Each structure stands twice: as structure tokens, then as C-alpha cells.
Amino acid sequence: MHSFRHAETILERPDFRPDFLELVDAIRSISDENLIESFESHSNPAKSISRDINGLLKNRLTMGGWAFESAIFQDPEYQDEKRWRLDFAKRKISVEVAFNHGEAIAWNLLKPVLASELNHVKKAIQTEVGVIITATEGLKRSGNFDNAVGEYEKFIRYLIPLQDVLTVPLLIIGLRAPESFHIVNERIAGRSVGSIVIHQDRGNR
């Protein structure tokens, strides 16, 4: 985790801590077995495990009362487009799960700022701290993510040149690679799909 503008200290305050711990517990509860089961359950094979991480997080957080794809603004002109929505929100915390192209890093960082700052467009939600969940270099490799995906290490580098624009506290969480398996790339019917390889010291599948 990387704390920007004292985000980690703020999230330890009594008015933030229960929701923050709920978010952290949801992340930590995703096991390698959960990811393997999810990956193998799809009839349409995926290239990476990004879809599975997203789905497992969604299940856990929505069960805990987190709003999914929460609109930032009340104006219908902005509510209908996903780009103006947060992945998750609950009370004072905005969350973005960022496994998209590296060119979107600045936008991923800015969305929690829009949700936390006053704006000339009427707000639908008002948070105070943003959390970005993304892949470390290790997860990006082991999970067979596209090379263009923006990783945790790159998010950290963006914070310095954008510090005058990013006016609210942000916590960047980098997800580590699975310990017991990795995904290899295969070409099937002209498209790239992933295949699970279990590490030998963890048994065969």
C-alpha cells in the first residue's frame, strides 16, 4: 500500500476504519483457490484473471453494503456513462479497481477526487478518501494481464507530477501475484486465452 496525502492515517480514524477494514478483508479473503475456481467457471475463456478479481471483489463488497458503479454526479447526462461512475463507494470512501490501459491511470486517480471535491455539477455522492486497487508487476506477469495495463508501480510514479491536481487523500493498493499458480498465454482459434499452470510444489491439477 502507498499512502498519498496521509490517506492511511485518515483511514485508521474511527469514522473510516470499519469500512476500510471491510474493504481490506474483502481483498485478503480472495484465495488462489477462489481465483482458479472462478477462472475455470467461465464458458468464454479469458486471457487473464482480471475478470475474476473484479467479480470476486464485487460479490464480497456488495454483500457488505458497498454501492457498485455509484454515480458521481446527479445530472442524468453524466449518470448514464460508466466513465462518471465509481467502481464502489460506501459512506466516506471511493474505490476504483484499475486493471485498464496505462493511459487511464490519470483518470483512475482523478475519479475519487471528483467524488470528494465540490463541483459545479451537482453531486450524487460525496466521499473524502479514495482507494485505488491495481495490479503489481508480479500480478501483471503471473496473471497474464495485457502488457498495456497500468500497474501499481506506475500509479505511484504518477502521484508526484499530479500532486497539485490530486487534492484528496488516496491510498494505492497493489495486489500481489498468486502463490500457487500462474496463467500462460495460448492461441486458440486465432485469439489469446489463458491457461492455468499450478506450481509443482503446490500439487498437480
169 and 128 Cβ atoms separated by less than 8 Å: yes
What is the pLDDT tens value at each position of the chain, 205 positions in all? 999 999 999 999 999 999 999 999 999 999 999 999 999 999 888 999 999 999 999 999 999 999 999 999 988 888 778 889 999 999 999 999 999 999 999 999 999 999 998 877 888 888 999 999 999 999 999 999 999 999 999 999 999 999 999 999 999 999 999 999 999 999 887 788 999 999 987 544 4
Give the CATH number for residue 78: 3.40.91.20
Residue-range definition of the domain harbouring residue 7 = 2-202
Task: Give pTM, 2 decimals.
Answer: 0.92
Q: pLDDT tens-digit profile of 11-67?
A: 999 999 999 999 999 999 999 999 999 999 998 889 999 999 999 999 999 999 999
- Which neighbouring-strand residues pair with 196? 183
Domain count for the chain, please give it: 1
CB atoms within 10 A of CB 188: 9
DSSP one-letter code for 124: S
Output the CA–CA distances (angstroms, integers) from residue 87 to 103, 148, 193, in the order listed. Answer: 18, 21, 26
Q: What is the four-CA torsion angle of 36, 98, 146, 165, rounded to 10 degrees?
A: -160
CA–CA dist 1, 19 (Å, integer): 17
- Which neighbouring-strand residues pair with 135? 175
